[in-house]
Amino acid sequence: MTENSVVGIILLILNLLVTFKGLQDRQYFEKYKFKIDPILRNKEYGRMFSSGFLHVGWLHFGFNMLALLSFATYLEWVFGYFILAGIYFGSKLGGSLLALYVHRNHGDYSAVGASGAVSGVIFSGIILDPTGSIGFAFIPLEFPAWLMGLIFVAVSIWGIKSPWGNIGHDAHLGGALTGALITMALKPHLVIENWWVILILVVPTLLFLILIIRNPKVLLVENYWGENIGTIKPLKRKKTKSQAQKSKEEKLNQILAKIQNRGKESLSPSEKKWLEDFRKNL
């Protein structure tokens, strides 16, 4: 195994150059970031990839590149240059597509960062070696890969359901799932060997995606996870006093016009009762 990933270094340089340009040139940043309306209305699909090379700052850039290089070396040793690149860009596309679906009605939603692609690379490594250890820079602690993956899935699902923080949880989850699925397709024997990690990471993610596709209300209603699907009634707003008065006037005008044109005998029993009640209230 080589000490450094060739693909990882190339991707780091590309991210570095594009991020530097974006931070120096706001117009450039706006032109290539992920944004719903330009993608859906103007068909600027290239934003789904170009946004992955932009970052909001150097700390954002550093975290993503550190995570990428931590896993890219192993994946490059297992799969080679081209497949690693395929996992990276495939995961970026998967993350962008999920973000596009979740925010399809939020025309002003925008995002940048390589997190979706990096999440796919990380999850590919977890599927390959779920019992390995994952550590954090400057923190002398390591955790089982499968446990970090489980926490990641739980936080991402909760973050999509109840948005908090300026974090693209949808892109993270979509990228992670894509990376896992590509790895399983390339090495199908892992589905049998590591069935338990598939069960705790991939299955819940797929079930959540099926849930929000079949029942979009899950993304719109707080504390709702699909109970009694289709039975949620729209909120009925109470009419203000002026609105109620206007409604009564419109009803009275309709009845008076009917009497004028067709006579009082043309009124229905309910209209006669309403008119009588109206007189009493006066």
CA distance 15 to 263: 80
The predicted model gives 238-242 an average pLDDT of 53
pLDDT-derived band at 234 (thresholds 50, 70, 90) equals: very low
pLDDT at position 256: 73
pLDDT-derived band at 188 (thresholds 50, 70, 90) equals: very high
pLDDT-derived band at 233 (thresholds 50, 70, 90) equals: very low
CA distance 224 to 234: 14
Region 6-220: CATH code? 1.20.1540.10
pLDDT at position 215: 80
pLDDT(70) > 70: yes
Per-residue exposure over 78-109, b if at least 16 CB sit within 10 Å of its own CB, e if not: bbeeebbbebbbbbbbbbbbbbbebbeeeeeb
The predicted model gives 106-126 an average pLDDT of 92
Q: pTM above the 0.85 mark? A: no
pLDDT(195) > 80: yes
Q: Which residue has the higher pLDDT, 279 or 125?
A: 125
User: Could you state, in order of their start, the residue ranges of all structural domains in the chain?
Assistant: 6-220, 241-281
Q: Which residue has the higher pLDDT, 208 or 134?
A: 208
pLDDT(72) > 90: yes
Burial class of residue 186 in the structure, from the number of CB atoms within 10 Å of its CB (0-12 exposed, 13-18 middle, 19+ buried): middle
CA angle 12, 18, 22 (to 5 degrees): 140
pLDDT(121) > 90: yes
The predicted model gives 232-245 an average pLDDT of 52
CA 58 to chain CA centroid, nearest Å: 24
pLDDT(217) > 80: no
pLDDT-derived band at 264 (thresholds 50, 70, 90) equals: low
The percent of residues in the chain predicted with pLDDT above 90, rounded, is 52
pLDDT-derived band at 114 (thresholds 50, 70, 90) equals: very high
Query: Which of 6-15, 64-73, 102-111 shows the lowest mean pLDDT across its residues?
Result: 102-111
pLDDT at position 172: 92
pLDDT at position 126: 94
In the structure encoding, which two tokens stand for residue 85, read together?
């690149």
pLDDT at position 240: 54
pLDDT(149) > 70: yes
Q: Which DSSP category does 57 fall into?
A: S
CA distance 81 to 7: 6
Q: Which residue has the higher pLDDT, 199 or 245?
A: 199
pLDDT at position 23: 95
In the structure encoding, which two tokens stand for residue 270, read together?
């309910």
The residues pairing with 134 across neighbouring beta strands, listed in sequence order, are: 143
pLDDT at position 231: 45
pLDDT(74) > 50: yes
3-state secondary structure of 107: coil
pLDDT(27) > 70: yes
